[in-house]
Amino acid sequence: FTFRIRKIEALRGCEIPLDVDITHCIDGVLGGEDYNQNNINQWTASIVEQSLTHLVKLGKAYKYIVTCAVVQRSAYGFHTASSCFWDTTSDGTCTVRWENRTMNCIVNVFAIAIVL
């Protein structure tokens, strides 16, 4: 199987190159696995938690929201959209899409600045 990684947009405003870190997280958890209903809960939890730990290690003054959607690969369609009301100069978002033979994974990271 092959997995293709595409980034949608880099984190604007705070300019952190996150997509590489997050793809590593997803690879670590889902790489080589097939979709399995029993494990899916634990997989999403660990993807999200590992992404959060990476973000915290960057040491920036941000609040983070990480969402992860894992879909079984099928002939059926799936759409996602988001709209945000924030300060465009300091807040930003990053989205990573990952897929393998049996599933698709979409991870969204939203970072909101804390003014200290």
Partner 1 sequence: MGESGPKSLEAMMMSDIAKDRMAHSVKKRGSMSSLSGREFWQKELHRCTKNSMSTVSYMDEPSQRDDASRLTVQMENTYQLGPTKHFPVVIVNHILKDVLTKYLQEEQYEPELCRQMTKTISEVIKAQVKDLMIPRYKLIVIVHIGQLNSQNIFIGSRCLWDPKSDTFSSYVFRNSSLFALASVYAVYFE
Binding site for partner 1 (CB under 8 A): 35, 37, 40-41, 44-45, 48-49, 52, 55-56, 63-72, 74, 76-87, 89-91, 108, 110, 112, 114-115
Q: Which is nearer to partner 1, 10 or 70 (CB)?
A: 70
Q: Which is nearer to partner 1, 2 or 37 (CB)?
A: 37
Distance CA 103, CA 72 (A): 4
Distance CA 11, CA 19 (A): 9
Distance CA 13, CA 36 (A): 37
Q: Which is nearer to partner 1, 3 or 39 (CB)?
A: 39
